[in-house]
Amino acid sequence: MSTAPANDHAGTQRNSAVLITGAGGEIGHGLIEALHREGRRDVVALDLRDMDPALKPLCRDTLVGDITDTSLLERILAMYEVDAIYHLAALLSTRSEFVPEAAHQVNVQGTLNLLRLAADQAASHGRSVRFVFPSSIAIYGLPGAQAKAAAGKVREDQYCTPATMYGCNKLACEHLGRYYSEFYRRLAKDRPRGAAARIDFRCIRFPGIISAFTLPSGGTSDFAPEMIHAAAQGKPYACFVRPDARIPFMTMPDAVDAMLRLAGADAARLSTRVYNVGAFAPSAEEIRGIVSRAFPGAADLITFKVDEDRMGIVDSWPADVDDSLARREWGYAPRHTLATAFSDYLLPNIRARYAR
């Protein structure tokens, strides 16, 4: 593991930083670009792998390492004055089912390590540390396809009985974030008092996210982006869910905007720490229809070869989410509908990408 800081901070004042974990992943790509556009020049990016060379110049520092390595996190604390953390690192839902204990280590223990880092940071500089966390529709667990059809748009407080390790992990982290924000070490005599020296945990339960530029790996909502990217390259694709499978989705730019908007929202307007967001909720067949009209030949290339086990996970996730709280309290307003997601974002960018 190399932590190779860009400069040596020993003996000098710590530099301010916004820390992004899992920074080389799908959301990290979009988030680093957006933070740079917003003028932040103090992004410290942490990932298991060396960062994409295109992103490095947008970061103050890029670190290679593991969030379960507490000595690495201590070094970050020593080097930087962190005022915001976007904790994106996780094993996704399909992969986690093969290695549930490893998923717990990364998804829960890793998050606990970051919450501890944030608490130590807040105590050391005396200001609140904003902790932005992507949770997921995987925290919902509907008992089956029939209940799912009857439930319609699910609210934040319904069906919080996840049926995957990833969903259990994310739900646990939602509660840990709330605990660290409101009750951390509540009986300890030396606990920092006052809102300033605390964590301000804010969390979005994301639906499936579709990017024109990157592909997910190890997720269960991957069938949509995989189908679109395969069709654009003229490759066959066997979709692992039934044609009628339906979950909510959104585009990556809307997901990144949502995180930044929630991060910047006035705390006085927030009645909770956990918000649903969604944008459109097509069935797999509807996605296939749009893709087939966009890419000649795709209709024959896209087939359905249902994996009953992964399908079972999708049947436990809601067909759509009620995101009215997010819209009301912090102005969540996705710019892409299903139609404009394709016409304005996915098709032009994906065509350009594979034409090269």
Residues in contact with ligand SER by CB under 6 A are 92-93, 136, 138, 166, 206, 208, 219-221
Contacts 24+ apart (CB under 8 A), 159-164: 159/318, 162/138, 162/316, 163/312, 163/313, 163/316, 164/93, 164/96, 164/97, 164/138, 164/220, 164/313, 164/316
Smallest distance from ligand SER to CB 73, Å: 24
**CA distances to 142, 214, 244, 282, 288 from 241, in Å:** 17, 21, 8, 13, 12
Rounded CA separation 346/42 (Å): 30
Give the shortest CB-90-to-ligand SER separation in angstroms. 8
Q: Give the span between the Cα atoms of 123 and 128, in whole angstroms.
A: 9
Smallest distance from the beta carbon of 44 to ligand SER, in angstroms? Answer: 24
Q: Smallest distance from the beta carbon of 88 to ligand SER, in angstroms?
A: 11
What is the C-alpha separation between 87 and 274, in angstroms, rounded?
15
Give me the amino acid identity at 123: A
Q: Please give the Cα distance from 107 to 176 (Å, whole number).
A: 12
Q: Give the C-alpha separation, 270 to 67, whole Å.
A: 29
Which residue's CB comes closest to ligand SER?
Answer: 219
Query: What minimum distance in Å lies between the beta carbon of 228 and ligand SER?
Result: 15
Nearer to ligand SER, 119 or 256 (CB): 256
Token pair 């710590």 is found at 14
Q: Which is nearer to ligand SER, 14 or 242 (CB)?
A: 242
Which residues pair with residue 303 across a beta bridge?
A: 238
* Smallest distance, ligand SER to C-beta of residue 220, A: 4
Nearer to ligand SER, 42 or 222 (CB): 222
In this structure, are strands 43-47 and 15-21 parallel, antiparallel, or unpaired? parallel
Nearer to ligand SER, 5 or 162 (CB): 162
Q: Which is nearer to ligand SER, 273 or 310 (CB)?
A: 310
- What torsion do the CA atoms of 245, 249, 251, 255 make, to the nearest 10 degrees? -150
Compute the least distance from the CB of residue 297 to ligand SER, in Å. 28
The DSSP secondary-structure symbol of 246 reads B
Q: Which is nearer to ligand SER, 62 or 135 (CB)?
A: 135
Q: Of 60 and 205, which CB lies nearer to ligand SER in the complex structure?
A: 205
